[in-house]
């Protein structure tokens, strides 16, 4: 894969400028169009989807209001029946009264129930179940569960615990194999108004169609499903599909619906198309009215926007292709002309010129080309003169060696004279000075062995100790491994000189100078530590920020700056130069450089 990408990159970079311009301009024109079009389409589809869902939610709220009104009517109906004097009297009679009287009571109760049902066209059934064994109902059949009811189970238990208040109960079924009849029941425990003694039970059964009719006028999308759920998630009613009525809803979104009050959200199923779930909760019964509809049905209204977006992208791509071609031809034509002139110059013919008509970048490039050709002609004439000047400079450099050699020979003569007169301290000083002078005029590479550089530092310290005597105590601690490595020539000497001149010379009494060298990881660390007067915080901040110039006019202050520049030149950012100091306690200068085992290692950056 990496080879294929590398090959493709080389092929693209090796094409002509005109092709590169086409490949660069076309994506810059087409990609924003495609991204903007896709964003616009998705945003519009999202807005349309939210608007449709909001409309559906408002419709559900209206349907819920209608269902609440229906529920209140049922509760009011049960209250009328509860307070009816005729029903109170009939249910208060003994169970062993004459059959003729029972027949009259049945006709009386039937007339009362027919009167209540005559107010509205309700698809409901009313059952009066007396404690005296009387059974009155409006339907054609009395269910066995009502004829021989269990007062400690289901709806009857709720009525008994409510003590005369209205209760609601849904009819559940694990599997529906017959038609969908009673799905919701309301009931009250009947009591005598004067004595509060139990008389029986009033049950009102509502058919599924009676509830479904309430939300048939709701805003339904094709392919959607309307569900009426109770507080526990059981399906009371549904449309158009009714095969799950009476069962508990088993869908991923049911928990979110039961926990919320109203709203809508998108539900992505596993292996099924995503759907939008819109739901609203009744404040009276707590029932949930849920509308589940496919997302695809909502986004159909955005198809015109999608088609328009695709058309705009196609037109924009075609126009971009034409403009990109014209632009690439217009830009590359003068460049091809300039390329031809450059090839002529490569052959050695400098009598060429690029005709510049415009002041754009290509015109500026042409003028620069003309200036370059003119400058080349001048340089050819100057090269010969510079070669002559270089030869003369080399002759002068050879002559300049006379003065250092003369001084070295003079110092050698002084050394022999001191030895003849047995002036050993003068002899040692002259020898050390001569070695330093020999080392300074030595030709060769900038990298030298550490032990040679340390020898020159020892020569320098010999001269200083002759000057300061017992005031200067010097210790040099180098690991054997460090001495075999290479370092920059005279990189520590300016640091040692600063430690003596600025630190120990100003100190009262003797001073101590410690020079160490050791390997730390992949670096060599040199430290020059003195216990002199130290550096003030203000001055240390100036040095750290790169202000190396000394305030004393007699001192140049260029030693440390020269060290830093040489470190940067040879090691780039792979070195460390750190100075820490405390006033009247001393100064420590640390230099870390990469390990160099041979003088030919490429450390120069």
Q: What is the pLDDT of residues 60-93, one digit of tens each?
A: 888 888 888 888 888 888 888 888 888 888 888 8
Can you tell me the mean pLDDT for 461-465?
A: 81
How many angstroms from the chain centroid is the CA of residue 464? 63
Burial class (CB in 10 A: 0-12, 13-18, 19+), 198: middle
Q: Which two tokens stand for residue 327?
A: 């632009």
Can you tell me the mean pLDDT for 158-173?
A: 81
Q: Is 96 a residue whose pLDDT tops 80? A: yes
pLDDT of residue 596: 92
What does the alpha-carbon distance between residue 434 and residue 440 come to, in Å, rounded to a whole number? 10
| C-alpha separations of 332 from 263, 339, 574 in Å | 61, 10, 44
* Listed residue (566, 589, 565) closest to 579, CA to CA: 589
Q: What is the Rg, in whole angstroms, of the alpha carbon atoms belonging to the chain?
A: 53
pLDDT of residue 553: 44
Q: Is 331 a residue whose pLDDT tops 90? A: no
Q: Is 19 a residue whose pLDDT tops 90? A: no
pLDDT of residue 421: 66
Contacts of 125 (CB under 8 A, 6+ apart): 137, 138, 139, 182, 204, 205, 207
- For 469-516, the pLDDT digits (tens) are 888 899 999 999 999 999 988 789 889 988 988 898 888 889 999 999
pLDDT of residue 358: 66
What does the alpha-carbon distance between residue 446 and residue 353 come to, in Å, rounded to a whole number? 46
- What whole-number percentage of the chain has pLDDT above 70? 76
Q: Is 43 a residue whose pLDDT tops 60? A: yes
Give strand ranges (E) for 363-496. 447-449, 472-478, 486-488
- DSSP letter for 505, please: T
Is residue 260 a contact partner of residue 40, using CB atoms and an 8 Å limit? Answer: no
Q: How confident is the model at residue 174 (pLDDT cuts 50, 70, 90)?
A: very low
Could you tell me which residue, 565 or 421, shows the higher pLDDT?
565
The number of beta carbons lying within 10 Å of the beta carbon of residue 290 is 23
Half-sphere exposure of 380 (CA within 13 A, CB side): 8
pLDDT of residue 576: 94
Can you tell me the mean pLDDT for 340-357?
A: 78
Can you tell me the mean pLDDT for 129-151?
A: 85
b or e along 455-479 (b: 16 or more beta carbons within 10 Å of the residue's beta carbon)? ebbebbbbebbeeeeebbebeeeee
Q: Is 590 a residue whose pLDDT tops 90? A: yes
Chain mean pLDDT for the chain? 78
pLDDT of residue 394: 45
| C-alpha separations of 16 from 27, 174, 488, 534 in Å | 17, 75, 48, 65
Q: Which of 55-59, 81-85, 205-209, 463-467 has the highest mean pLDDT?
A: 81-85
Could you tell me which residue, 51 or 396, shows the higher pLDDT?
51
Could you tell me which residue, 57 or 189, shows the higher pLDDT?
189
Half-sphere exposure of 592 (CA within 13 A, CB side): 12
* Listed residue (106, 346, 82) closest to 190, CA to CA: 82
What does the alpha-carbon distance between residue 188 and residue 204 come to, in Å, rounded to a whole number? 9
Q: Is 12 a residue whose pLDDT tops 60? A: no
b or e along 13-31 (b: 16 or more beta carbons within 10 Å of the residue's beta carbon)? eeeeebeebbeebbeebbe
* Listed residue (490, 498, 452) closest to 567, CA to CA: 490
What does the alpha-carbon distance between residue 376 and residue 356 come to, in Å, rounded to a whole number? 20
Q: How confident is the model at residue 444 (pLDDT cuts 50, 70, 90)?
A: low
The order of strands in the sheet holding 167-170 is 135-137, 124-130, 198-207, 182-191, 167-170
What does the alpha-carbon distance between residue 523 and residue 574 come to, in Å, rounded to a whole number? 9
**Which residue has tokens 């066209």?**
121
Could you tell me which residue, 134 or 23, shows the higher pLDDT?
134
Could you tell me which residue, 538 or 396, shows the higher pLDDT?
538
pLDDT of residue 2: 67
pLDDT of residue 363: 75
Q: How confident is the model at residue 46 (pLDDT cuts 50, 70, 90)?
A: confident
Q: Which two tokens stand for residue 133?
A: 């064994």
The number of beta carbons lying within 10 Å of the beta carbon of residue 309 is 21
Backbone phi, psi, residue 448, to 5°: -130, 160
Q: Is 23 a residue whose pLDDT tops 90? A: no
Q: Is 570 a residue whose pLDDT tops 60? A: yes
pLDDT of residue 370: 81
Q: Is 173 a residue whose pLDDT tops 60? A: no
Q: Is 544 a residue whose pLDDT tops 70? A: yes
Strand, coil or helix: what is 156? helix
* Listed residue (25, 16, 11, 562) closest to 335, CA to CA: 16
Can you tell me the mean pLDDT for 330-356?
A: 77
b or e along 36-46 (b: 16 or more beta carbons within 10 Å of the residue's beta carbon)? ebeeebeebbe
Could you tell me which residue, 154 or 398, shows the higher pLDDT?
154
pLDDT of residue 524: 96
pLDDT of residue 149: 85
pLDDT of residue 216: 66
Can you tell me the mean pLDDT for 562-583?
A: 88
What is the topology classification, in CATH, of domain 16-349? Beta-Lactamase (3.30.450)
Q: Is 557 a residue whose pLDDT tops 60? A: no
- CATH class assigned to 469-547+555-594: alpha beta
Q: How confident is the model at residue 219 (pLDDT cuts 50, 70, 90)?
A: low
What does the alpha-carbon distance between residue 190 and residue 188 come to, in Å, rounded to a whole number? 6
Output 178-181 pairs: Cβ under 8 A, ≥24 positions apart.
Answer: 180/208, 180/242, 180/245, 180/246, 181/207, 181/208
């Amino acid at each position: 894969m990496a080879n294929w990408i590398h090959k493709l990159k080389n092929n693209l970079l090796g094409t002509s400028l005109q092709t590169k311009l086409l490949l660069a301009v076309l994506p810059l024109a087409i990609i924003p169009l495609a991204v903007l079009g896709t964003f616009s389409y998705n945003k519009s589809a999202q807005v349309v989807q939210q608007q449709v869902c909001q409309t559906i939610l408002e419709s559900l709220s209206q349907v819920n209001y209608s269902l609440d009104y229906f529920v209140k009517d049922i509760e009011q109906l049960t209250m009328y029946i509860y307070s009816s004097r005729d029903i109170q009297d009939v249910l208060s009679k003994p169970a062993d009264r004459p059959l003729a009287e029972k027949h009259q009571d049945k006709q009386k109760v039937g007339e009362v129930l027919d009167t209540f049902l005559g107010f509205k066209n309700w698809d409901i059934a009313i059952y009066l179940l007396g404690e005296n064994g009387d059974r009155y109902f409006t339907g054609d059949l009395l269910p066995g569960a009502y004829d021989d009811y269990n007062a400690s189970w289901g709806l009857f238990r709720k009525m008994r615990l409510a003590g005369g208040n209205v209760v609601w109960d849904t009819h559940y079924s694990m599997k529906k194999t017959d038609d969908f009849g009673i799905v919701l029941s309301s009931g009250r425990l009947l009591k005598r108004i004067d004595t509060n003694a139990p008389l029986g039970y009033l049950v009102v059964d509502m058919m599924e169609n009676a509830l479904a009719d309430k939300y048939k006028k709701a805003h339904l999308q094709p392919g959607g499903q309307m569900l009426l759920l109770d507080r526990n998630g059981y399906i009371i009613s549904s449309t158009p599909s009714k095969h799950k009525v009476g069962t508990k809803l088993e869908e991923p979104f049911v928990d979110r619906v039961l926990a919320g009050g109203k709203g809508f959200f998108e539900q992505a199923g596993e292996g099924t198309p995503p759907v939008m779930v819109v739901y609203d909760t009744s404040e009276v019964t707590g029932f949930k009215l849920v509308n589940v509809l496919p997302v695809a049905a909502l986004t159909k209204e955005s198809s015109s926007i999608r088609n328009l977006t695709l058309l705009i992208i196609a037109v924009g791509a075609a126009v971009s292709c034409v403009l990109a071609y014209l632009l690439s031809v217009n830009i590359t034509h003068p460049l091809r002309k300039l390329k031809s002139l450059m090839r002529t110059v490569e052959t050695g013919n400098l009598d060429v010129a690029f005709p510049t008509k415009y002041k754009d970048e290509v015109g500026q490039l042409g003028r620069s080309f003309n200036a370059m050709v003119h400058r080349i002609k001048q340089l050819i004439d100057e090269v010969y003169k510079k070669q002559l000047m270089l030869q003369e400079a080399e002759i002068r450099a050879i002559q300049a060696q006379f003065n250092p050699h003369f001084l070295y020979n003079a110092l050698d003569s002084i050394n022999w004279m001191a030895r003849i007169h047995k002036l050993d301290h003068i002899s040692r000083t002259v020898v050390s000075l001569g070695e330093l002078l020999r080392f300074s005029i030595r030709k060769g590479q900038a990298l030298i062995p550490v032990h040679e550089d340390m020898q020159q530092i020892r020569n320098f310290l010999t001269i200083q100790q002759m000057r300061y005597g017992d005031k200067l105590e010097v210790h040099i601690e180098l690991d054997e491994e460090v001495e075999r490595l290479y370092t920059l020539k005279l990189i520590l000497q300016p640091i040692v000189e600063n430690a003596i001149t600025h630190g120990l010379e100003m100190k009262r009494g003797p001073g101590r100078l410690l020079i160490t060298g050791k390997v730390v990881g992949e670096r060599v660390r040199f430290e020059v530590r003195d216990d002199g007067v130290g550096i003030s915080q203000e001055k240390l901040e100036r040095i750290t920020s790169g202000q190396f110039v000394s305030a004393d006019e007699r001192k140049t202050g260029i030693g440390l700056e020269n060290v830093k520049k040489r470190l940067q030149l040879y090691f780039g950012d792979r070195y460390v130069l750190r100075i820490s100091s405390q006033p009247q306690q001393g100064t420590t200068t640390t230099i870390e450089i990469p390990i160099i085992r041979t003088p030919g290692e490429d450390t120069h950056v």
